[in-house]
Structure 1
């Protein structure tokens, strides 16, 4: 008799929120660098870029949309982000620390056309990144069950709390429908900082 696999419960069953705070992202990055893995620097840059550029896991790695070296414009300090799921692709600036790590990674895997590759020099699989982030989050002692897409949401959360407007964030994340961007404004607690509670 065939048994039906148990249906996965909704995200709300596993966690109260679907984004990471800046301090949690920092803990994740620090835990990545402190690992004894020979690929700690690659993994650090992977997570840093997923956060800073609001990347879905399939936009960071994978044969179809994964980041490639020909997308990096070294002279301009920029990278072309190819978005999936019907989102708009575009050019993002690269910060100096990203360029430093990218140059080191290029030296490590000079033959690969993809930025993030496995030990065998093949493009990393999305499932490998999912497992990696889960392990690192546990090592970082985070009190929330972390998955890859939380890095993209963490980017939106960070930008809205830094005061950037919805249209800028929409363009940065490649949202075609601004409704997808507007959900981040609800995560901006700074809006309520001027509430006066009197003596209470």
Structure 2
């Protein structure tokens, strides 16, 4: 029996985002899922996001990585800013709206790690993803999506906050598209560089 896949494909993430729009707390769950994928969050990094980490005006997000990873500022994508605005509009009328936690439960408390796992699993089931979904699969999905876009391994390392590049090469090493242009550079009349 082959090992279970430990990541989600970009198509599966799209399906889960569509499922997030059609459930309870659609604004929160869509925003949470989208940000998890785009920024490659670990579940605790996502849980610990605060309003003070966001600057919609500047279009930036402070990322506080765990495991002694690189802490950085990521740009916010336009679609992401819209998802955040929609969630913040709902969040303003909730219990706990005066707290700095970005993602709140219905009780007005920060979402627990367990609740985030439940949300991701539920969205995966509703999207009919073939493998049981969990938050770390979104982090891996981010890494593979960046590699598929041809992003340099060192940049992916910095983006995901990996202290050691050994944790990053899994994304680029398994991407056959990286070899597509190896010999497509300028050649002389004999076919050599």
TM score, norm. by length of structure 2: 0.85
- Equivalent position of 2:18 in the other structure: 30
Match of 1:119 among 101, 106, 109: 106
Q: Which residue matches 2:6?
A: 18
* 1:94 alignment partner in structure 2: 76
Q: How many Å apart are 1:136 and its aligned residue? A: 1.4
CA contact (8 A) 1:105 1:115 kept: no
Extract structure 1 runs of 4+ deviating beyond 3 A.
191-194
Shift of 1:193: 5.7
Show structure 1 runs of 5+ residues with no match. 1-11, 195-200
Task: Identify the match of residue 32 of structure 2 among 13, 37, 46.
Answer: 46
Aligned pairs, number? 176
In structure 1, the partner of 2:188 is none
The structural deviation recorded for 1:147 is 1.4
> 1:42: Cα distance to partner?
0.4
- Secondary structure of 1:142's aligned partner: coil
Judge conservation of contact 2:37–2:138 (CA < 8 Å) in 1.
yes
Q: SS at 1:43's partner residue?
A: helix
> For 1:155, which of 139, 142, 147 is the aligned residue?
142
Among candidates 90, 93, 99, match of residue 108 of structure 1: 90
Give CA-to-partner distance per residue, 1:51-96, whole Å, 9 cap, x none: 00000110111xxxx1101111222100101111211111000011
Q: What CA distance in whole angstroms lies between the structure 2 residues aligned with 1:56 and 1:172? A: 13
Structure 2 unmatched runs, 5+: 93-97, 182-193
Matches within 5 A, 1:139-154: 139-154=126-141
What SS is found at the alignment partner of 1:92? strand
RMSD: 1.7
Residues in 2 aligned to 1:109 and 1:156: alpha-carbon distance in whole angstroms: 30
